[in-house]
Amino acid sequence: MEKALSAGLGFSLLIKGEPGTGKTMLALEILDKFGGDSAVYLSSRVSLPALYNQFPWLEGRTGFQVIDATNLYFASKAFLKPRSFSELLYTKLAAAEKPATLVIDSWEAIISGGKGEKKEELEAAMTDMVRDYASKYRMNLILITETTDTTPLDYIVDGILEESRITIDYRRGREILLKKLRGTRIDQHKYGYTLDGGRFRYFPPFERRQIEKPRRIEVVPNTATNVSSGCVEFDRILGDGLSRGSTTIIEYGDDFSLLGYHSLVAHAIINTIQQGNYCVKIPSSGWDERRLRRGILPFVNEDDYMKYCKVFEIRREKKEVRENVRILKGESMEEDFPILIDFISTLEPPVTVFIGTDTLEYQYRLRTSANLARMLELFSYWVMELREAGNVAIFGMPAGGALG
């Protein structure tokens, strides 16, 4: 959103939400950040003294102008009838010297309050302003609406934000949804936010810190019957680690960070490499060997990593293939799965195999019952070989996955 509003090309943004979700507060924060010295807040329900009372931080804000929309409808001796709202609005905006940011709060109240022209005519005039004014004068136009329904306005504006209340474990939370940002990529479409202290503040995505001074991870040794996960506490939960010849599913839902799952996997891989044992991995969706390498190499020797960590990627083969990477075409599980099984059989046990089931589900269309049945049949044959060899398989599966 910041990228869209700071481009300087003009942007129209619609803020939707039920009463009390913080629409006005968000609009004022946008005014404060992007309004420059010519910000205009057009209100149909909040006077300037009331605004300062609710948001004391506004008093220190210069270049901020409030227009009371209810005072725009008046009769003048120079006119035989009350001047139209759209005419007066254009006059006011011209006096504000083409504001960098204009907030209209709210769209419905402005439309329903017109005097001197029919509601349909007023709505048409306002719609024309939304369609043309932002781009023509390179200004940011922020519209607040009191409905969450889809209206013709949704198709005209450049962006749509929707604020809502949510309940998490009987506790109230707030969530903002980025429904549309024309010309701007949306990397994350939902954010939590707070209105504490009369300010709108969102919670940014969790960013992984770079490892500046990596510490050596203590080896948690395997036993004669079990393979360690690399985490003493996790081993204790599992009953002294993973039994050789066993298969384990780690199911993670929306309440568990994907990074948390990959941290468990990383510990197991590091612990395996440090003991001179092999691990084979089919990464989860969105991950590949390069990304895995960045997380593992700070803690193990690169030569050991290349020797003991083998990664199967399902993709089209490219000219540049890393030494420890094998390629599966992803066209047929009957062709690809034997390649994986045969490779594992050439490695000295115990081999720890990590499989991201969401990758298999997408590539081999496992939501189809026939494909799922065939994959389960292939797995059943492999599990017998795995048990006989004393290897270990760990399946990482999102909640509701086809293989669950």
pLDDT digits (tens, 9 = 90+) for 223-274: 999 999 999 999 999 889 999 999 999 888 877 776 778 888 999 999 999 9
Classify residue 297 by its DSSP letter. Answer: G
The answer on pLDDT for 102 being more than 90 is no
Average pLDDT, stretch 385-396?
A: 94
Q: How many CB atoms lie within 10 A of CB 240?
A: 12
Question: What was the pLDDT predicted at 385?
Answer: 93
Is 215 contained in some domain? no
Q: In which residue are the tokens 């329900």 written?
A: 45
Distance CA 302, CA 329 (A): 27
Beta strands per DSSP E along 241-399: 242-243, 247-252, 279-282, 309-314, 325-328, 352-356, 392-398
Residue type, 396: G
* 151 and 191 together in one domain: yes
The answer on pLDDT for 86 being more than 90 is no
HSE-up (13 A, CA, CB side) for residue 239? 6
Between β-strands 392-398 and 309-314, what pairing exists: parallel, antiparallel or unpaired?
unpaired
* 259 and 312 together in one domain: yes
* 126 and 259 together in one domain: no
Is 337 contained in some domain? yes
Choose the most confident range, by mean pLDDT, from 85-89, 117-121, 158-162, 167-171: 158-162
Q: Can you tell me whether residue 150 is helix, strand or coil?
A: coil
Is 220 contained in some domain? no
* 175 and 310 together in one domain: no
pLDDT digits (tens, 9 = 90+) for 311-324: 999 887 766 678 89
pLDDT digits (tens, 9 = 90+) for 157-209: 899 999 999 998 889 999 999 999 988 888 889 999 999 988 999 998 877 67
Distance CA 296, CA 211 (A): 11
* 177 and 270 together in one domain: no
DSSP codes of every residue in 185-206: --S--EEEEE-GGG--EE-PPP
Residues 6+ apart with CB under 8 A from 39: 31, 32, 63, 64, 65, 99, 100, 101, 102, 103
Is 212 contained in some domain? no
* 165 and 257 together in one domain: no
- For the ranges 103-107, 278-282, 300-304, the lowest mean pLDDT is seen at 103-107
- The answer to whether residues 220 and 238 touch, using CB atoms and an 8 Å cutoff, is no
Is 324 contained in some domain? yes
Pick the last residue of a domain from 167, 202, 237. 202
Q: Name the helix (H) or strand (E) containing 105.
A: strand 101-105
CATH of the domain at 332: 3.40.50.300
Classify residue 175 by its DSSP letter. Answer: E
Q: Can you tell me whether residue 389 is helix, strand or coil?
A: helix
Give the pLDDT band (50/70/90) at residue 23.
Answer: very high
* 193 and 232 together in one domain: no
The answer on pLDDT for 112 being more than 80 is no
Question: What was the pLDDT predicted at 205?
Answer: 82
Q: What is the biggest distance separating any 2 CA atoms in the chain, rounded to whole angstroms?
A: 99
Question: What was the pLDDT predicted at 92?
Answer: 56
Question: What was the pLDDT predicted at 169?
Answer: 83
Tokens of 134: 């932002």
Is 144 contained in some domain? yes
- For the ranges 5-19, 74-88, 192-206, 265-279, the lowest mean pLDDT is seen at 74-88
Q: What is the mean pLDDT of the chain?
A: 83
| Phi, psi torsion values for 49, nearest 5 degrees | -60, -40
Taking alpha carbons only, the member of 233, 278, 286, 244 closest to residue 262 is 286
Question: What was the pLDDT predicted at 404?
Answer: 64
| Phi, psi torsion values for 326, nearest 5 degrees | -115, 150
Give the pLDDT band (50/70/90) at residue 97.
Answer: low
* 383 and 246 together in one domain: yes
Query: Total domain count for the chain?
Result: 2
Q: In which residue are the tokens 């060899």 written?
A: 389
* 187 and 244 together in one domain: no
* 255 and 195 together in one domain: no
Question: What was the pLDDT predicted at 72?
Answer: 53
* 252 and 171 together in one domain: no
Distance CA 118, CA 124 (A): 10
Is 283 contained in some domain? yes
Average pLDDT, stretch 210-223?
A: 81
- For the ranges 41-55, 73-87, 278-292, the lowest mean pLDDT is seen at 73-87
The answer on pLDDT for 391 being more than 90 is yes
pTM reported for the whole predicted model:
0.57
pLDDT digits (tens, 9 = 90+) for 285-344: 888 899 899 889 889 999 999 999 999 998 877 666 788 999 998 888 999 999 999 999
Pick the last residue of a domain from 170, 202, 234. 202
Residue type, 113: G
Tokens of 295: 């997380």
Is 217 contained in some domain? no
Distance CA 374, CA 338 (A): 13
Considering the chain, what percentage of its residues have pLDDT values greater than 70?
A: 82
Q: Which residue has the higher pLDDT, 213 or 167?
A: 167
Write down the H helix ranges in 141-288: 152-156, 232-238, 258-274
Domain limits for position 288: 226-398
Question: What was the pLDDT predicted at 77?
Answer: 43
Q: Calculate ∠ Cα 253-259-264, nearest 5°.
A: 90
* 171 and 265 together in one domain: no
